[in-house]
Amino acid sequence: MSETRVALITGSSSGIGAAIARRMAAEGINVVVNSTRSETAGKELAAELPDAVYVQGDVANPDDARRMVETAVNAYGRLDILVNNAGATRFIPLDDLNAADADVWRSVFEVNVFGAWQMITAAVPNLRASGSGSIVNISSVAGTRALGSSIPYAVSKASLNHLTRLLAAQLGPSIRVNAIAPGLIETPWYDDAEEVWESSREWITANAPLRRVGTPQDVAEAALYLVNAAYTTGDVLTVDGGRHIV
């Protein structure tokens, strides 16, 4: 079995996930790229990276979650890192309670909470076998503050933060579990919410200490830090340019 670390990164055909895949590959980590629908983009990214493979699968489907882990282990003989980046949201004003019906809640939680849980439970035996497994959950500042693209989304990320802490307490010492809570990051998520994007960008560039919105690369650097931070577990690392302190 190779000594090179292996990372499975869900939702990694574009945006934050793709940036994490590129950063980890640059560090010499073998990467498994995943997407639910963007198969062409996922395969192209895997072809761009050294010794990477692509697997199509939906984290909300438990059979797909198990198959994605199996793909990583079959390709490399091990799994050391799981990055739960796949996410879902609906842009619904926080005061529009009727629009956030039960179907919206279910669709968001299926990916952001249940999907992460299914990936983790599928991966744990192999992460434990590696001896120094690392799970990084991509959360959001919406999980720590009263804001976000919708109430179901914000609550799902708060759930993911607490899941991170609970699992860190249960899976140590062989597996560390941390999360990243990004602020406003320039990704394709906002392509269909231009008004939300522009108003948020204006506020952040005028008021946040670092005076800019984030990039996927900013989150990727945080993810690499956490997979290498051998004495850090149960942490939710905020990556928002200081937005949370103003």
Contacts 24+ apart (CB under 8 A), 18-21: 18/45, 18/216, 19/215, 19/216, 19/217, 19/219, 19/220, 20/83, 20/85, 20/216, 20/219, 20/220, 20/223, 20/224, 21/45, 21/49, 21/52
**Residue 153 known to be catalytic:** yes
Residue 205, number of CB atoms within 10 A of its CB: 14
Instruction: State residue 192's pLDDT score.
Output: 63
- 201 falls within a domain: no
Instruction: Dump pLDDT digits (tens) for 70-116.
Output: 999 999 999 999 999 999 999 899 999 999 999 999 999 999 999 99
129 belongs to a structural domain: yes
Looking at the predicted structure, is the pLDDT value of residue 182 above 70?
A: yes
pLDDT at 190: 62
Residue among 53, 60, 64 at smallest CA distance from 30: 53
Residue 87 lies in a domain: yes
pLDDT computed for residue 94 by the predictor: 94
Look at residue 1 and tell me if it is in a domain. Answer: no
| Residue 198 forms part of a structural domain | no
pLDDT category of residue 131 using cuts at 50, 70 and 90: very high
- Other beta carbons less than 10 A from residue 204's beta carbon: 22
pLDDT at site 193: 61
Q: Is residue 181 part of a domain?
A: yes
pLDDT tens for each residue of 24-60: 999 999 999 999 999 999 999 999 999 999 999 999 9
The single-letter code of the amino acid at 44 is E
Residue 120's domain is classified under what CATH number?
Answer: 3.40.50.720
The predicted structure's pLDDT at residue 7: 98
Domain that holds residue 71: 6-188+215-238
Residue 198: the pLDDT is 81
241 has which bridge partners?
none
The residue from 54, 76, 153, 190 that is catalytic is 153
pLDDT surpasses 90 at 61 = yes
For residue 209, is it within any domain?
A: no
Query: Mean pLDDT for the chain?
Result: 95
In a domain, 199, yes or no: no
Is it the case that residue 172 has pLDDT exceeding 80?
yes
Domain count, the chain: 1
